[in-house]
């Protein structure tokens, strides 16, 4: 009989693509998901994209009874269930700590009683804070923090102690975390708890630090989701994409099908146990370029981005992935080029409707002093 995997949060954007990939490659797939209204809408119905062969259990990961039910007969767990969003985490602290930290604790408490063959936990590039930099003497600089006063003056790029410019370089897993938001803190806690318990109870565990994931099924009406989905929502509604700072901050965008494959590889590779891996494209692109490329692909070039010149508390300037370790150990190599991924996304967008809530998001952050 085929092995069974439980994906917590598996009805969401990334989780559902992981479910598709594992189902296609011979796994039996069960999903536990609360179908959060902010992500799935108010009706709470099973998403139409979730394949019929995927078993869905509706429940909150903090509900030990529902989690225990979902774990029955399971051989592996992929833990995605989490509240997502840097900005929102800074004013809905109880929700984020409850769902992300307590939810993970409930899952692990049950896995102690009945360990699985493999546990894969979704972490995030947000745990790094600022990515790795190099100074003008060629030395790596790990712990970089931007001075709030400098950011307010529009000096967005960090500098060294002597005031000299720093150059962003690919960030490896060896870089020490620098936690700039409640969301980042929670993701780091999730990965550490899982790895710690996995080692203590001889349950092979892998943490995957995802960079900026994009693709079909993103929650377009959620203003705290990925930047591409937010830009798409604006453009679909005839509005300009809103860009914080000057738009020259650099990110690593990785297609969701590449991410799904990385999960499958992590489940299969024995040498991955107990380790953390970056999952990205290995390339960087500015947010300005992302907005321009998306508008061009959608045929909406007339909507030039609105550059706010303001920074959100918890945002970082540059962070993009060094994926050498994932290549070496997992055999992971991204396959979807950014331009091709955008074309697929835009084709999907043609059949979607989105509520543009970006102005609401900005108001919520500004009212709490979370925009500098």
**pLDDT tens digits along 132-146:** 999 999 999 998 988
pLDDT of residue 303: 86
pLDDT of residue 312: 84
pLDDT of residue 222: 75
Give me the domain span that covers residue 282: 4-367
Q: What SS3 class is residue 16?
A: helix
**Within-domain flag for 372:** no
Q: Indicate the number of domains in the chain.
A: 1
pLDDT of residue 201: 97
pLDDT of residue 133: 97
Q: Is residue 214 among the annotated active site residues?
A: no
Query: What does pTM read for this prediction?
Result: 0.94
Check 183, 188, 214, 224 and give the catalytic one.
183
pLDDT of residue 318: 96
In the predicted model, residues of the chain with pLDDT beneath 70 are 42, 224, 358, 370, 372
Q: How is residue 252 written in tokens?
A: 């690593």
pLDDT of residue 370: 65
**pLDDT tens digits along 162-172:** 889 999 999 99
**Within-domain flag for 80:** yes
**Within-domain flag for 295:** yes
pLDDT of residue 226: 79
**Within-domain flag for 159:** yes
CATH number at residue 239: 3.40.50.720
**Within-domain flag for 271:** yes
- HSE-up of 230 (CA within 13 Å, CB side)? 22
């Amino acid at each position: 009989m085929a092995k069974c995997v439980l994906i917590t949060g598996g009805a969401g954007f990334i989780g559902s693509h992981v479910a598709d990939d594992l189902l296609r490659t011979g796994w039996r797939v069960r999903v536990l998901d609360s179908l959060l209204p902010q992500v799935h809408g108010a009706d709470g119905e099973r998403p139409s994209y979730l394949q019929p062969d995927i078993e869905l259990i509706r429940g909150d990961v903090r509900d030990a009874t529902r989690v225990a039910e979902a774990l029955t007969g399971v051989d592996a767990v992929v833990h995605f269930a989490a509240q997502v969003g840097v900005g929102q985490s800074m004013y809905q602290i109880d929700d984020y700590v409850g769902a992300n930290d307590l939810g993970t604790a409930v899952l692990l408490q049950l896995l102690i009683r009945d360990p699985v063959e493999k546990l894969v936990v979704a972490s995030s590039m947000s745990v790094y804070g600022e990515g790795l930099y190099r100074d003008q003497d060629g030395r790596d600089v790990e712990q970089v923090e931007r001075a709030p006063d400098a950011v307010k003056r529009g000096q967005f790029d960090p500098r060294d102690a002597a005031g000299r410019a720093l150059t962003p370089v690919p960030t490896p897993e060896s870089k020490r975390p620098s936690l700039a938001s409640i969301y980042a803190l929670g993701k780091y806690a999730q990965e550490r708890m899982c790895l710690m318990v996995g080692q203590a109870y001889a349950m092979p565990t892998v943490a995957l630090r995802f960079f900026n994931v994009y693709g079909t099924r993103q929650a377009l009406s959620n203003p705290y989701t990925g930047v591409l989905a937010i830009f798409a929502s604006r453009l679909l509604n005839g509005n300009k994409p809103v860009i914080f700072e000057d738009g020259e901050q650099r990110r690593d965008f990785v297609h969701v099908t590449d991410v799904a494959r990385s999960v499958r590889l992590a489940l299969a590779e024995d040498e991955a146990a107990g380790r953390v891996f970056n999952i990205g494209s290995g390339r960087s692109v500015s947010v300005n370029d992302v907005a321009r490329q998306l508008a061009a692909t959608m045929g909406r070039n007339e909507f030039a981005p609105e550059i706010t010149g303001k920074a959100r508390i918890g945002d970082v300037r540059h962070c993009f992935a060094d994926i050498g370790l994932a290549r070496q150990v997992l055999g992971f190599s991204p396959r979807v080029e950014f331009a091709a991924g955008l074309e697929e996304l835009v084709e999907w967008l043609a059949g979607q409707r989105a509520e543009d809530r970006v102005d609401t998001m900005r108001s919520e952050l500004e009212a709490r002093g979370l925009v500098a």
